[in-house]
Structure 1
Amino acid sequence: MRKKPFWTLALAMVFLLSMVLVACNSGGGGIKKDTGTTLIYGRGADAKKLDPIQVTDGESLKVTGMIYDTLVQYKDENTEIQPGLAEKWESSPDGKVWTFHLRKNVKFHDGTPFNADAVVFNFERWMDKNHPQHKGGEFTYYPDMFGGYKGDKDHVIKAVTKVDDYTVKFELNRPIGPFLANLAMPPFAIGSPTAIKKDPEKFNENPVGTGPFKFKEWKKNDTITLEKNPDYWDKGYPKVDKLIFKSIPDNAARFTALKSGDIDIMDGMNPSDVAQVQQDKKLQLFKQQGMNVAYLSFNMKKKPLDNPKVRQAINYAVDKKRIISNFYAGLAEPAVNPYPSFMLGYNKDVKDYEFNLDKAKQLLKEAGFEKGLKLKLYAPQDPRPYLPNGKKVAEFLKEDFKKIGIDVEIVTFEWKTYQEKVKSGEHELALYGWNGDNGDPDNFLYVLLDKNNAREKDASNISYYTSEEVHKLLVEAQSSIDQNKRVELYKKAQEIIKQDAPWVPLVHATVPIAGKAEIKGFFPHPTSTYKLHKVSVEKKN
């Protein structure tokens, strides 16, 4: 008889618990929207550093773009410029003086104020090698986009000065056509001076910006976790409370994680999986415009790749159409020039090297290598947006190169190590690529092929191509604010580059990205730096 009150009490507790659960799940039809949600982004490799000025890789910049803000920014779907931390700006008629008017009442994540002093500090840190906080690694993008560092012959920026607390003036040594486009690039985001001064060496592991998310935790080669900035200046964003970047190196494993619900969105798809996504009602496919190039680089500092006939021969031995068919499922177009045809100044009159093994053999014979030669081909292990499977492409190239007497040894590394090795010039041949940062041809031709960027330890021009004629054309084009003049200069540069053959331009890839059907507000930006703070996820309970 004593058990009856016990069971009665137990049943009452179960009923009470069920009522609590119903109350928690009501008001949304079983769907939990925005508040309390987490967006998990799956990608093929981890970030290198989280100080944006010290990296060039997309994996790092995807993350830093959510922690920091730039003075100006790109629109959601293209590279047109709109306000960022600067609300408005104006320039002198000759393009050599720019004045930016900053947003007020913006704070860094550490609570310190964003103002003109912060902007001046960041630019002085970047441009001056003797600045006390010019530490933590290489500042690669600064010389790439602004002609070197303070004191260098071609350096663009003469001075950055404070006019008042919320006004900054830039004085340039010469005008630069893509100046605003450059400032919108993620590497030129503004970091907290207080946090940088505290420990410039470790700032890349403890990032502090003004962006939509605050840094919380980094588990190397696994996850980077960011949390919502409730005081973000762009009201209404971010749409989710937590953003997690999850590293899953294998494309197939990442796709499985998406289908099982472990991640919400992913890049680095195997192109062969695109049809499966399109047929699955639980998933959706995004296609990113191919503002990129995958290429085979020749290290022209090493023999016999200093011989133009050897480089031209290898160009004739590459079957781009079969590469696209076998490894891109048709989601790419053959690359003729270093940047895609929809961009300013593309030269449609430049003719590509046809796939012709006999012509390749003849050129090798003329170069003195009738009996063949041996070369090492570096290939990345990790997928890139422009190169979904570098090792497979390398194996494909090896077979055709063998037919013309070139014996290739394939060497692979994980992405971080791979970048360090090719940017230090260790390779002979290297499969590499570039995703455009700002929609301007300067960002391809000057960054990747100008002599100023053939640096010994941290080259962006990994072919070490040093044409004086091309250099003059690129600097003149960069320094002009006349778009018609820039077009003609870029067209001429492309003709010379094609003849000199520092690369084999392979493909411009359309990048497939897959997400759950519940993903809303995602736009696959052509720069590959996505505004994930505008994405919402409808979570099913």
Structure 2
Amino acid sequence: MSKFRKEFSGIDLSSRIDPSLSRAINEVSLSRRGLMKMLAAGAAVGSGLIGFPEQVLAAETPVMGGKLRAAMANASATDTLDPAKASNSGDYVRQCMFYNGLTELDKQLAPQPALAQSIESADGQTWRIVLRPGVTFHDGKSLSAQDVVYSLSRHKDPAVGSTAITLASQFKAITAVSPTEVQLVLASPNYDLPSLLATNAFMIIQDGTNTFSKAIGTGPFVCQEFSPGVRAVGVKNKNYWKPGLPRLDEVELLGVTDPAARVNALMSGDLHMVSTLSAGDVKRLKQAGRFGILESKSGMYSNLIIRTDRQPGNNADFVLAMKYLQPRAMVVKTVMQGLGDVANDTPVPPWHPMFNKDLPQRPLDIEKARFHLKKAGLAGAKAEIITTPNIEGAVEGGQLLQQVGRSAGINFQVRRVPYDGYWSTHWMKDPIGYGSVNPRPTLDMLFSQFYVSDAPWNESGWRNPQFDQLVVAARGERDQARRKQMYGDMQALIYAHCGTLIPAFISSQDGFSNKVKGVEPWPSGMMMGYRFHEFAWLAA
């Protein structure tokens, strides 16, 4: 656990930010390499920026068969095939290989029927779910209403340890009306239910399943091998309910946490597709000329987490000072090489229809940060920021804070820790550290999982009864104008009071060999919303 203590002897409170650093931040003129040199030397230099065009894919006739090898950026002994416990992109991709949900999201983030042939409600509270006929699990058993009842109900059991327990608390009653029909009654209306049921957590498993060494689902691939932290292998489900899919005979999914190793393996031909490219990786692959890039605009972000239930984050002025120390434009233009959007400490991206455009964009303001630090009684203090390399922008973001923090009257010590074990040892435990959040299909889901008081991933320990009430009220509001106002009010509360600082939204960057066809950007997440394997094919 990092420690926080006052240290008045090491800071000149009358100091100002280094002129070259100030110019670089305000003009956003550094290259990423220049930024790293500046961070190492404590001074800034100017350079150019690099941007890349979107990948254009020609329509071609799909080729059936072949084995595709892909790598995700995360891997650990906690990797799981249990939809209830999935918590990272590697888990999500694996589970999309082997399972299906009742609904799924299309390229416009609209829910579409999947295992449910239809899902209807007159009041948003009582829902009738009719199952698609002729669907079988990998072992030949037919899909039934009891499988759905079991799959949804288990999330309400605390012993399961579901990441979706807060979302599932809305499920008041789940009943098998017939072998092909389920009635789902909610505690209160929620017109986002079809989108909620499209998330990985609510994928359907067989009634009574309680072990997950293998995955027996209805998905496009049958699980042949699963080694947590290493790889998963799936072979084509010849009885898949979607005609013509999947096109591949086999998919091998590996976990490769080292960014350079992933890109090198792609360039050497050992891998066909990799997730989570940096701006430098994108440049390298573009120059090689034999690879494509999936740039998906999404609500993905890396955030600086300040725990508000302990020092120093339990002081509101310290949190506000930290918000004024964020060099947001520089993070987007330099660290991310323009592959993202400036954020404003709320998790709603500027292109989202519910975005609150009335919130003033918070600037980098050293004087305001200095004022709030002094008001908090923390001028001249020392604090530790925990970073890890595999969270996009975390290391550079921490080092930038270290630079600008000195001029505001605070000494930050940046400690880089290994990615292995980061989520269990550091995330949501350190007073100041970084997190990474994948996109969610609805704001209700995002707020319910990360911001309400009892959220399982309430990263900053923030509690606000007004916010909690608004989340519940917005679920049952059918009028879109009133709903937008509610979500705008929720964003205002996060902006003013929450301890999670979001400097930028990150465009997801995935790389693939020019032999891989049929893939395209999806806003629901990296690697085609985690479902690339269902649609991809290999050129002959």
Same fold (TM over 0.5): yes
With normalisation by structure 2, the TM-score equals 0.83
Say if 2:269 is the partner of 1:246: no
- Counterpart-to-counterpart distance in 1, 2:275 and 2:426: 24
Q: Which amino acid aligns with 2:314?
A: D
User: How high is the sequence identity, in percent, across the aligned residues?
Assistant: 23
Stretches of structure 2 that go unaligned for 5 or more consecutive residues are 1-60
- 1:451 positional shift: 0.8
Residue 37, structure 1, aligned to residue 45, structure 2: no
Structure 1: tracts of 5 or more residues without a match: 1-31, 149-155, 454-458
- Could you say which residue in structure 1 is the equivalent of 2:351? 342
Instruction: Within 5 Å, give how 1:85-124 maps onto structure 2.
Output: 85-92=115-122, 94-124=123-153
Cα pair distance change 1:191/1:342, threshold 3 Å: same
Runs of 4 or more off by more than 6 Å in structure 1? none
Mean CA deviation greater in 474-483 or 403-412: 403-412
Matched letter for residue 434 of structure 1: V
Distance (Å, rounded) in 1 between the aligned partners of 2:154 and 2:256: 34
Distance 1:102 1:174 in 2: 23
Deviations 1:227-281 (A, max 9, x none): 1111111121111011111222222221121111111111111212323433444
Q: 2:386 aligns with which of 350, 364, 378?
A: 378
Contact 2:290 2:513 in 1 (8 A): yes
Separation (CA, whole Å) in 1 of partners of 2:536 and 2:65 = 14
Distance 1:412 1:218, change over 3 A: farther
181, 189, 197: which one pairs with 1:175?
189
User: Which of 219, 225, 237 is 2:233 aligned to?
Assistant: 225
Aligned to 1:21: none
Pairwise CA distance, 1:405: 3.2
Corresponding position of 2:490:
493
* Contact map agreement 1:523 1:530 (CA 8 A) in 2: no
SS of equivalent to 1:111 = coil
Does 2:149 match 1:140? no
Residues 281-430 of structure 1 aligned to structure 2 (within 5 Å):
281-336=289-344, 337-370=346-379, 372-383=380-391, 387=392, 389-415=393-419, 417-422=421-426, 425-430=428-433
The residue that corresponds to 1:445 in the other structure is 447
State whether residues 290 and 509 of structure 1, in contact with CA within 8 Å, keep that contact through their aligned partners in structure 2: yes
Question: In structure 1, what residue type is equivalent to 2:435?
Answer: Y
CA distance in 2 between counterparts of 1:250 and 1:186 reads 26
Deviations along 1:291-319, one digit per CA (max 9) or x if unpaired, are 22221111011112111110011111111
Give secondary structure in 1 for the equivalent of 2:234: strand
Count of aligned pairs: 473
Between the aligned partners of 2:438 and 2:378, the Cα distance in structure 1 is: 35
CA distance in 1, matches of 2:338, 2:156: 43
| Structure 1: distance between partners of 2:247 and 2:223 | 16
1:60 is matched with: 91
Give the letter aligned to residue 271 of structure 1: A
The structure 2 residue matched to 1:50, chosen from 81, 104, 107, is 81
Query: Amino acid of the residue matched to residue 362 of structure 2?
Result: Y
Quick one: distance in 2 between partners of 1:328 and 1:501? Answer: 25
Aligned to 2:477: 480
Return the offset for 1:142: 3.1
Q: State whether residues 238 and 534 of structure 1, in contact with CA within 8 Å, keep that contact through their aligned partners in structure 2.
A: yes
Name the counterpart of 2:3: none
Distance 1:504 1:214 in 2: 41
Distance of 1:238 and 1:292 partners within structure 2: 27
Distance 1:142 1:481, change over 3 A: farther
Once residues 193 and 34 of structure 1 are traced to their aligned partners in structure 2, the CA distance between those partners, rounded to angstroms, is: 36
Deviation at 1:365, TM superposition (A): 0.6
Judge conservation of contact 2:111–2:195 (CA < 8 Å) in 1: yes
CA deviations 1:206-236 (Å, max 9, x no partner) are 2221100111212343322111111111121
Alpha-carbon shift at residue 98 of structure 1 (Å): 0.8
Q: Corresponding residue for 1:510?
A: 507
Distance 1:358 1:176 in 2: 44
Deviation at 1:415, TM superposition (A): 4.5
Distance of 1:244 and 1:55 partners within structure 2: 19
Residue 52 (structure 1) shift = 1.2
Q: Would the alpha carbon gap of residues 399 and 253 (structure 1) be closer, same or farther in structure 2, given more than 3 Å must change?
A: same
Q: Deviations over 1:134-154 (max 9, x none)?
A: 53xx201231x24x3xxxxxx
Q: Which structure: larger Rg?
A: 1
Letter in 2 for 1:106: V
| Paired position in structure 2 for 1:535 | 536
For the residue of structure 2 that corresponds to 1:452, the secondary structure is coil
One-letter code aligned to 2:165: Y
> In 2 relative to 1, CA 217–86 (structure 1 residues): closer, same or farther, beyond 3 Å?
same
Separation in 1, partners of 2:231, 2:137: 23
1:110 positional shift: 2.5
User: How many angstroms does 1:351 deviate by?
Assistant: 1.1
Q: Is the 8 A contact 2:101 2:199 kept in 1?
A: yes
Distance, in Å, in 1 between the alignment partners of 2:105 and 2:290 is 31
The answer on whether the counterparts of 1:391 and 1:412 sit within 8 Å (CA) in structure 2 is: yes
Q: Which AA in structure 2 matches 1:285?
A: I
CA distance in structure 2 between the aligned counterparts of 1:414 and 1:193, rounded to whole angstroms: 39
